[in-house]
Structure 1
Amino acid sequence: MCYSAQIWADYKKFTRQFGAILSVGDFTRIFWERREGSSPKIPKAIEQAFAEPRDEFESQVKRMIDEARDAELARIEERVALQQAKIVEAESALQKRVTKKSQEVIRIAQNRIAAESAKGAKLLRVEAAEDDDRIWPGDYTLVMVQEDGRKVIKPMRYQCRLPGWTLADEKAKPGTYNARRDNLKTVWRKLYGHHHGIMVATHFYESVAQHDYEHRALNEGERPRSIELEFTPQTGEPLYIPVLWFRWADGVEELLSCAAITDVPEPEVAMTGHDRTIINIKPEHVDAWLNPDPTNLAAMDMILEDKRHPYYEHRLAA
């Protein structure tokens, strides 16, 4: 399963490559939610792409990003002040009598202050960092869809909440950031042939068991250990990853979410001990993929079968 990837986080790449336009409403909604106190996990590179808006639509998104940042910084200050007050109270108690309880209160509060300070520093940072464009399940990614005859870029959570699901269903089945190709006409039948998109990535990451990677059995008494591998197409070309997506709503919450389609592993991926590989469709199939006919799933099957097979070089992730 593709549990992490480095994505095209700058929407302008989609504009240059595909002529796609921005879904301003969907972008402003997720930043409005953050401003109001929710915590959608949005890669910093997605935000940084709006640092220099070119028109009023992009300026609107930029304003929401700034307002969301300022609101979160204010909440961080409140949480830090609360922890500082706990430290003062515990230090006062220690002056009267040394107890492990008061020492533990101080230790926990200091750790929480450090964590909140790190969050604040990340919000204020303007320089790009290596993993700013990397996503994990639960993070937001950019997905290109077809809407009213135009290619449109939307922010979607990389973990799909399926039609009819509740939050409890999602928690019980957290693996829906990937959709197995052999399950598309069963588990994913309400989305396959209906809600198609494209996510673009430059690298993907997999977690594998070290003993599988080394092609050996576990030694006596050895516990399984996981290692992380980074895979990159030898051609240097980006991966056009087909996704299924859904706009879930219950009258209170609205969520755009997606899943990347995976298939049997490419030989070089299987050799590392992993049993799946995300599908990488050919550029000439992008338009057809984004305009599915639910009465002709055979055409969609053909696109997935006729996928690209670049050799995926790998290395141990840092």
Structure 2
Amino acid sequence: MCFSVHIDRNIKGLAKEFNAVIDKGRFSELQNLTQKWPKLFKLPDASDRVYPGTYSPIILGAKDELVITPMRYRLTPSFSQDLNYSSINPKTKRKKILPTYNARLDALEKRAAWQKIATTKHAIVPVKSFYEFVERDHKSQQIEFFSKSEHLWACALWDSWYYEKENTTIYSFAIITDEPPKEVLNAGHDRCPIFIEKENIHEWLNWQGQDMAQMREFLLSSKAHELFDFRDVS
């Protein structure tokens, strides 16, 4: 599970690299919403680190062009009854908020949050590194995984949810994760975001197929050949 990522907020640089359009209206709207509801519409911290519930620039495919737009890291499905997607324990009747900031590749067909969007609503998150907690000497240690590449292109799913109470739409995403490469596993973590090669981004963002198995095979065969290192985070 990837609980936090260091993202690239240089949207002008990203737009130049991909010849993409910046959704200025959505970014302007986010600034206004942040001033009005700072706890709900959170921006990355000073280190450009994004946690679940924080907004990040992401890349979408739109017809013949790519678009850079802001979305919240932790997906709220369009059918959710609440802003924070949750389930009710049938025995205790207690509500449990579900961790919809990561979408496991092997659960895309099983979980309701991913089923309708897995082959239709694709995104790319421009990542520089990602953070995990691992067990070390019977204690939980936070570590940062990084590579020599300037960018890591993380595959994601997105959805929109109408927030009736505030009369606004929440756009949000989840990063897709899979089995880790050996160096991540050896460092103590059993999941890793799926990062793909840059030349495969357009096909991912403009995915035309409906077959889940075919899409899964595409992701597995399109993974970037990164070698990760890590460092402890105090």
Range class of TM-score, shorter chain: 0.7 to 0.9
2:44 partner amino acid: P
Q: Is the 8 A contact 1:285 1:303 kept in 2?
A: no
How far off its partner does 1:208 sit?
1.1
User: Contact 2:58–2:123 (CA<8 Å) still a contact in 1?
Assistant: yes
Give runs of aligned pairs for residues 1-318 of structure 1, distance below 5 A.
1-39=1-39, 40-43=41-44, 131=47, 133-167=48-82, 170=85, 172-187=96-111, 188-211=114-137, 224-233=138-147, 235-251=148-164, 252-306=167-221, 307-318=223-234
Partner of 2:91: none
Mark the CA change 1:25 to 1:275 in structure 2 (over 3 Å): closer, same or farther.
Answer: same
Greater strand content: 2
Q: Is the 8 A contact 1:163 1:190 kept in 2?
A: no
Q: Please give the alpha-carbon distance, in whole angstroms, between the structure 1 residues aligned to 2:202 and 2:69.
A: 17
Describe the shift of the 1:144–1:32 C-alpha distance in structure 2 as closer, same or farther (beyond 3 A).
same
Question: What is the DSSP-based 3-state SS (H/G/I as helix, E as strand, rest coil) of the residue aligned with 1:167?
Answer: coil
Q: Following the alignment from structure 2 to structure 1, what is the Cα–Cα distance between the partners of residues 209 and 185?
A: 32
CA contact (8 A) 1:160 1:245 kept: yes
Q: Give secondary structure in 1 for the equivalent of 2:85.
A: helix
* Aligned counterparts of 2:25 and 2:213: Cα–Cα separation in 1: 34
Q: Distance in 1 between matches of 2:159 and 2:77?
A: 7
User: What number of residue pairs does the alignment pair up?
Assistant: 219
- Indicate the SS of the match to 2:207: coil
Distance 1:37 1:140 in 2: 13
**CA RMSD after TM alignment:** 1.8
Gapped regions of structure 1 (runs ≥ 5):
45-128, 212-223
Question: How far apart in 2 are the matches of 1:197 and 1:37?
Answer: 26
User: What is the deviation of 1:169?
Assistant: 5.4
SS at match of 1:270: helix
CA–CA separation in structure 2 for the residues paired with 1:136 and 1:38: 15
For the residues of structure 1 that align with 2:209 and 2:168, how far apart are their CA atoms? 28
How many angstroms apart in 1 are the aligned matches of 2:37 and 2:131?
A: 31
Distance apart, 1:166 and its partner CA = 2.0
1:2-29 alpha-carbon deviations (Å, 9 max, x no partner)? 1111111110121121011111221122
Indicate the structure with greater helix content.
1
Q: Please, which runs of 5 or more residues in structure 2 have no aligned partner?
A: 87-95
Contact residue 231 and residue 315 of structure 1 kept, 8 A: yes
* Structure 1 outlier segments of 4+, above 3 Å: 296-299
Check conservation: 1:136, 1:158, Cα contact below 8 A: yes
Separation (CA, whole Å) in 2 of partners of 1:315 and 1:38: 31
Q: Is the 8 A contact 2:78 2:162 kept in 1?
A: no
SS in 2 for 1:152: strand
Amino acid at match of 1:3: F
